[in-house]
Amino acid sequence: MGNLLEGKVIAMTGAGRGIGRECALLAASEGARVVVNDPGVNPDGTGHDNGPAEQVVEEIRKMGGEAVPNFADVSTMEGGESVIRTALDTWGRLDGLVNLAAILRDRMIFNMTEEEWDDVIRVDLKGHFTTIKPASVLFRQQRYGRIVNFTSVSGLQGNSGQANYGAAKAGVAGLTRVVARDLGRYGVTCNAIAPGAQTRLTATVPQQARELRAQRGIAGAGTIAQPTANRAAEEAATMRTPDMVAPMTIYLLLDEAWNINGRIFQVAGGHIGLLADLYPPFRNIYKHGKWTLDELRMLVPSQLMAGIPNPAPPAEDIRIPGRDF
């Protein structure tokens, strides 16, 4: 048992399995008291099982740590508030929050139903807000707090068949940056992890979707595809087990990470990368006055977009106006 989080209370959503479980165990091994939230749903959000959260709590207690389960559905405000209230009712304090709860309902955009859209947005995006809102009130008052959210390559780069999940995870990235600015002056940090790991959730991605993403250089749901400079980097990125994501997540909860705020880190195997901000733009064209369409027709392809590939180009057997005629 370590002591890097000695005396701290950390609430974690989606902590009954996969990456969440590994984060809870590592936090507890460093002395944190942990609220293990997990309603035990299936990857698509259906069902309910107290077992996963209870099992993680039991593992923590066996190693000599302290933990309590919480089975609330964080897609509701009542559920999110319940997670925070459990920490306060049990230990009288809260120092950190890790939001991992997520579900998948993969389908191509032209086949996706309103229900599939709404369910994923509620859990994967709103489920961050429902815990951050009550936690932020407390963190602002106590002038201290750590928040770690979980985004995804699906929201940062795009994955076929994941319009709902990608939109939610892109929203998490934006939420993270805004919360960091809202709370930074009060000694609170908010960062995000874009993980690459093989989990129960990613195992549900259809093989056809995996093949399509591989063709486009995208590793798959919950993973990061990134060009590597050498064999060591390639090997580091292949060890995509959930426990490999936990150390960076827990590091962001430490006191010494006080000056890391509003950042997104990709973590896949032994690779950790700091993602560039989406703003300011990395390439620009300027004119004193209003652009004409003729000017844009000339300068957008020759300067603004020169060398920038289409991430999903049309099939060669389709006649494309502008390309073929």
Q: Is the dihedral of CA 275, 143, 38, 239 positive or negative?
A: positive
Residue with tokens 């000056």: 259
Distance CA 254, CA 80 (A): 23
Q: Which residues contact 8 (CB under 8 A, 6 or more apart)?
A: 31, 32, 33, 95, 96, 253
What's the token pair of residue 117? 């859209």
- 188-192, 213-217, 222-226: least confident range: 222-226
For 57-86, what is the mean pLDDT? 99
Mean pLDDT, the chain, as a whole number? 90
Residue with tokens 């489920």: 127
CB atoms closer than 10 angstroms to residue 59: 16
Q: Tell me if residue 286 is catalytic.
A: no
189 vs 215, which has greater pLDDT? 189
Provide the residue ranges of all domains of the chain, joining segments of one domain with +. 9-274
Beta carbons of 30 and 250 less than 8 angstroms apart:
yes
For the chain, the first-to-last Cα distance in angstroms comes to 68
Give domain 9-274's CATH number out of 3.10.20.30, 3.40.50.720, 3.40.640.10, 3.10.50.40. 3.40.50.720
Residue from 165, 186, 251, 279 carrying the catalytic annotation: 165
Beta carbons of 99 and 131 less than 8 angstroms apart:
yes
Beta carbons of 222 and 195 less than 8 angstroms apart:
yes
Distance CA 152, CA 156 (A): 6
Going by their DSSP bridges, the two strands 33-37 and 9-13 should be labelled as parallel
Distance CA 288, CA 120 (A): 44
Residue 222, pLDDT score: 44
pLDDT-derived band at 278 (thresholds 50, 70, 90) equals confident
Bridge partners, 155 (sequence order): none
In the predicted structure, residue 229 carries a pLDDT above the cut 60 = no
Residue 281, pLDDT score: 83
In the predicted structure, residue 220 carries a pLDDT above the cut 50 = no
To the question of pTM greater than 0.75 for the whole model, the response is: yes
